Structure 1
Amino acid sequence: MIHQNRSIFHPATFFLIGIPGLEEVHVWISLPFCSIYLVALVGNATTLLVIKAEQSLREPMFYFLAILSSIDLALSTTSVPRMLGILWFDAHEINFGTCVLQMFLIHALTGMEAEVLLAMAFDRYVAICAPLRYTSILTSSVLMGISLCIVIRPAMFILPMVYLIYRLPFCQAHIIAHSYCEHMGIAKLSCGNIRINAIYGLFVVALFLLNLVLIGISYVYILRAVFHLPSQDARVKALSTCGSHVAVLCVFYIPSLFSFLTHRFGHNIPHYLHILIANLYVVLPPSLNPIIYGVRTKQIRERVLSLFSKV
């Protein structure tokens, strides 16, 4: 009887549609997503190997880059294989617990990526605005503390979402118009009151946007310091060191903000377009981040070229 009551409130499985409205071209859509995922795997794995092998890459900037690559590998692997299973093999059903776990991992890893981008902005701020105190500020203990915050803080904020989902009753609806499980996509299937879920979701997004504000403030100070440098060469070099980070910020925040604003306010935007952008949001940054840093960072570029020249 207990199992029966629980099954009424929590369905055994959910049904992930994939990309609604484009079911007939799922196979074709899967090809670029698979290619981008492979680029993300190879690119981030190569970045981690290069940072580990090259003794000169022991600066805090490369330490944070290694964390970013690890998060990107986890984020893309949490979402893309399930997505490809839907697009290739019609593997639409997902266990309720597995769906909630995927929701937690995707949101938590996205939050971790936002945190590590903030940490990288702080690193650039210290390097340019206080270069003589760089090593005394970013000590090993400070880096360890920042690393723990990158992992623990998003996990703590996303963990209540798991409780908020489990407290909801689910009656008959179990079809999610998406290719992966996310908080409001699950909550909207409930036959109960989801107001708390919506409010808490907005609270988490506000924290996510606060990171962007803090990054913006740091770059105001960075640019002010850069334009007070005595020589043009010094200004160009300082701006160049920030170029990779700014490009990664754009790759991460533009699709995520578009997805969020479309989810809340874009009622006239086709649903399939929203889902496509949401899918790109979890796979495009992981694939582009190592390319951006590989192209713009001399130490990584030279090390990668030397590795491929030996193959």
Structure 2
Amino acid sequence: MKISKVIDLKPNLGEGPIWDVKNQELWWIDSQDGRLFRHNEDTSNLRVWDVREKIGSMALYQDGKSVLLALQTGLYKYNLEADKAELISDPEPEYPKNRLNDGKVDFRGRFVFGSMDTMEEAPTGRLYSYEEGKELRVLDEGIICSNGPCWSPDGSIFYFADTWTGDIWTYDYDLETGDVSNRRVFATVDQSDGGACDGMTVDAEGFVWQAHVYAGKLNRYDPDGKLERQIEMPVKKVTCPVFGGANLDRLFVTTMARPPLPRFPEDGAARGTLYVIDDLGIKGYETPRFGK
């Protein structure tokens, strides 16, 4: 196993990595400063967009010309060429201290995302599902900080976490309808080291990878929820992993340069670096695009 730096941009809150299989590019965001990054590892070509608003997560549209953004003020379709955002829905005007947070696309092209209390204290967040051309649906509620949505390789199990509960949940997931049911605890994250559950992904073997933010670790859980391995990272504030590369066998990991609240730990000069882990002998699966 080898951990290497990919690029050091010092995003205040690096998050939400997506591997674009079609174009062999990595996308990720600076959640705090409202920037999108696109990097081609073969050409080292980097492109940056400033959307001028805090970003919780993003998804790629099928046409490759737009991205779906969960922003501070709602869900938007953002045209990359025109630098123009079109509001789709503002789901929580009654909660001005909330913002939209982590989200991913299921195997039918729906965007499943959550919201959070920006002080990470009140359970005012919800879990949503958005299908192009349809109304936004609420899947769950009573959440402090939505994090880590992802699916088993066959799409029948949905994983999700409320960062500060210490629990990763699973739901039965109906791919045809997008409905969730039978929420239960998949794994309880050990928070005794000061860490918490951040972004997650699932590999091709059905094992769940979880960024243990503020403790500088990646946890891998087997399909029964047992901790199978733990990888120590060079920085404390690791935020989200995703598999990418030509063979989907490289694990990219985002980190943050500055903690969102004063109570969280700082990192040294390597803060905010985008890392990649090679030689794991494990592959992921393709990240779906939004829409049909």
TM-score greater than 0.5 by the shorter chain: no
| TM-score w.r.t. length of structure 1 | 0.25
Q: Which has the higher helix share?
A: 1
Larger radius of gyration: 1
Greater relative contact order structure (CA < 8 Å, 6+ sep): 1
| TM-score w.r.t. length of structure 2 | 0.26
Q: Which has the higher strand share?
A: 2
